[in-house]
Chain A
């Protein structure tokens, strides 16, 4: 049973470009969470999604960031017009149902140059 798969592992974007981060949850998991980790910082919650629904996006910046989890395919975190401050590790986690153990992926390290 493969774990949470994130790709790409590393992503370099120039300022103003778009970044698309993908997350395939563990088999059977329908809950997906995105977190951002800055160097020497903890993980900051961004968004919680279930299939085709955004449940909680209280941690998402109001502009440029969006997330989706379609009926088919991976969850996508999209950052438009990236800026240097978006450089961070972005982690996705999934769980089977609510209030259960969440498993994290290896993360996508975004560097904006």
Chain B
């Protein structure tokens, strides 16, 4: 059973556009929701994270929106740039349980 479902699998966005990646989770005990960015040949790097006590968190061009009742959260990349082209993973974990459960990833390509 996949605990964190991510969509779309791949996404193509024009430069300057908004990239939106969605995730849904099953386990209501999850209370930490990070997003990771991975470039080819590199390890994942933490991009931004949110706890369920807030509905939105913004860091620069990156925003996480969180809907606790729907058990969904999404990543918005504003003014998308070619350098944002990478694979993005949403993830979830529980307090006192450090195992991070990852979604399958979204391969984002920003057209120049």
Q: Which residues of A contact B (CB under 8 A)?
A: 4, 6, 31, 33, 35, 41-45, 48, 55-56, 58-59, 91, 93, 95, 98-99, 101-107
Contact = CB atoms under 8 A, between A and B. Distances in A.
B24 to A, nearest CB: 14
Of listed B36, B99, B102, B103, residue having the most chain A CB within 10 A = B99
B43 A105 contact: yes
Contact of B43 (A45, A55, A91): A91
B100 A45 contact: yes
A48 B98 contact: yes
A33 B99 CA distance: 8
Given A41-B104, A43-B44, A102 B98 contact: yes
B59 to A, nearest CB: 13
Given A42-B89, A101-B49, A106 B100 contact: no
